[in-house]
Amino acid sequence: MKVLVSGGAGFIGSHLCDSLIAQGKKVFCVDNLVSGNKKNIEHLMENNKFHFLEQDINFFSFEEKVEEVFHLASLASPVDYFSKPVETMLVGSVGTKNLLDLALKNKAKFLFTSTSEVYGDPLEHPQKESYYGNVNPVGIRSCYDESKRFSEALIKAYEKQFNFKGKIVRIFNTYGPRMRINDGRVVPNFINQALNNRPLTVYGSGKQTRSFCFVSDMIEGILKTMESDFFGPINLGNPEEFSILDFAEKIKELTGKDLKIEFKPSLQDDPKQRKPDISLAKKKLNWKPKISLNEGLIKTIDFFREQNNL
């Protein structure tokens, strides 16, 4: 079977490519390397079932016939989408359209990785798929949130107009090996700061919450969605919720470092709470995360230590 993965050289995308190759599939990995990294896929380059195409899906030409399309390409870190808001909007609109057209032409299965950010700064907690969200359409995060919401709406438009159904998974904060140490998100920031004996930077009060899912659990959820006859939208994430201050304590404990907390101004529109309700994934996919935060963080800390000689 031939499959296409957009964003395949990124953090989650490269792990997905690994699993698809392990299943014996022929993988076309498309990435423009704006936030992805060839290093994440270098171990696959010699595999004759793996094909890397350095291309931007916004200007995409692809003639192979594929049976599955996984659309992961995006600028997923706030630091990245704050600095490239236009590219972020294009990959979640023109890019999504191009990949939907490819899937439609090939009669391929299509899966889009949406985000918990479609719920914005949520007033409902935990977040169920039925919640419409609380997004500021002109705020600093809107380039990301609205592009993902647009993609979801576009998938529904293809269903209405062309009778073509695409799958939607809403990914909550995911972490693990191959995250970029400087991508600005809280997991790599805190680990990098801890390993370099620097204070941990907490934005705002640190009372805001997040729920962190280890990447292997996320990959399993994505693959199960593609294999199922369920189209979503479906939340994928780990419902164990931590305040950012508690998360900082966890990093101190696991790195064995006694570090100061440096409070910084909070980010505009930073969601105050986030925790997925995964009842639907449990019911429809028989899926729930297996890796505890301790276990996942130890693997992630080891990865950053090794990669950066720390």
- Give, as ranges, the residues between 248 and 277 that touch ligand UDP (CB under 6 A): 267, 270
**x-marked contacts with ligand UDP along 78-97 as a string, rule CB under 6 A:** x-------------------
Are 99 and 33 in contact, with CB atoms under 8 Å apart?
A: no
Answer yes or no: are the C-beta atoms of 211 and 276 closer than 8 Å: yes
- Minimum CB–partner distance for residue 252 and ligand UDP (Å): 14
Picking from 169, 154, 180, the residue whose alpha carbon sits closest to that of residue 91 is 154
Looking at the Cβ atoms of 186 and 215, the one nearer to ligand UDP is 186
Q: Kindly state the smallest distance separating residue 240's Cβ from ligand UDP, in Å.
A: 15
Active site residue 144: yes
Give one DSSP letter per residue of 265-282, joined into a string.
Answer: PPPTT--S---B--HHHH
Pick between residue 109 and residue 185 the one whose CB is nearest to ligand UDP: 185
Residues 178-197 that bind ligand UDP (CB under 6 A): 185-186, 189
Q: Tell me how far the alpha carbon of residue 43 is from its chain's centroid.
A: 21
Q: Do 122 and 275 touch, CB atoms closer than 8 A? A: no
In which residue are the tokens 């870190």 written? 77
Radius of gyration of the chain (CA): 19
Return the residues of window 198-217 that contact ligand UDP according to CB under 6 A.
Answer: 201-203, 208, 210
Q: Does 173 bind ligand UDP (CB under 6 A)?
A: yes
* Beta carbon of residue 25, minimum distance to ligand UDP (angstroms, whole number): 30
Whether residue 91 contacts residue 147, with contact meaning beta carbons closer than 8 Å, is answered with yes
Nearest to ligand UDP of 173, 300 (CB atom)? 173
# binding residues, ligand UDP (CB under 6 A) = 13
Closest CA to 71 of 179, 215, 180, 171: 171
Catalytic residue among 81, 119, 144, 175: 144
Distance CA 239, CA 132 (A): 19
Minimum separation from the CB atom of position 20 to ligand UDP (A): 26
Burial class (CB in 10 A: 0-12, 13-18, 19+), 163: exposed
Contact flag: residue 25 with ligand UDP (CB under 6 A): no
Of 78 and 296, CB closest to ligand UDP: 78
Binding site for ligand UDP (CB under 6 A): 78, 173, 185-186, 189, 201-203, 208, 210, 244, 267, 270
Catalytic residues: 144
